[in-house]
Amino acid sequence: MPWNYVEGMSNGACNAYARGLKPLSRMTKEDLEVAGWKESRVFAKWLAQVATVWVPSEWHHSSKYANCVDFYDPLALVEAWEELTENEKRQLKKRHKKPTIYEIAERTKETAPHFFTEKTLRFFGQYRKSSGKHEVSLDAFSVTKTYDGSGRWKVSAPSYWEVDGENKRMQDTVWFFDPVTNELKK
């Protein structure tokens, strides 16, 4: 395999860069805008990594270890996006949007009915005192993105245990929400 030692990649990879193809990590907003992409760069990367709407055009060797790296064509993304129906586009945008803890609680009523019950939340310490009585509080939960390419959302909250009348913080409660199946799993 011919190798470009100055650039640290194969000649094929150098050629791909010259034609406008790049790995996702090197793709800029300007690259996408030149191709006619009107959405965000984050959404474009999500379409490649999770939704597989944008597939790699080529792969090439890179680095001194000759790693195989996927190269993407921004024009192929625009073409793939334009081939989708409006309903498909709307569904993909909905899947990409960060859900609130209240949406997750609603969407997991059937798949994880045990999780957001009063008993479970009391066990995890997600109770707050309001007007003299205890009530369930979802406000303590946070929803963050996972970066493993699965498209799942990390649902976490601090857990407290009452010891001698004081709340002691324990290890955080962490579950993962899958927006496609509406499942909540550890």
124-158: burial string, b at 16+ Cβ within 10 Å, e else: bbbbeeeeeeeebeeebbeeeeeeeeebbbebebb
The Cα 38–Cα 160 span in angstroms is: 45
**pLDDT tens digits in sequence order for the chain, 186 residues long:** 576 666 778 888 889 999 999 999 999 999 999 999 999 998 999 899 877 899 999 999 887 787 899 999 999 999 999 999 999 998 888 888 888 878 888 888 877 777 766 666 655 555 544 444 445 566 667 788 776 767 788 888 766 666 666 666 666 778 888 877 778 887
Q: What pLDDT is stored for residue 4 in this prediction?
A: 65
Q: What pLDDT is stored for residue 163 in this prediction?
A: 64
Q: What pLDDT is stored for residue 131 in this prediction?
A: 45
Can you tell me whether residue 53 is helix, strand or coil?
Answer: coil
The Cα 54–Cα 20 span in angstroms is: 15
Q: What pLDDT is stored for residue 71 in this prediction?
A: 96
The Cα 82–Cα 35 span in angstroms is: 13
Q: Which residues pair with 127 in a beta bridge?
A: 136
Q: What pLDDT is stored for residue 134 in this prediction?
A: 47
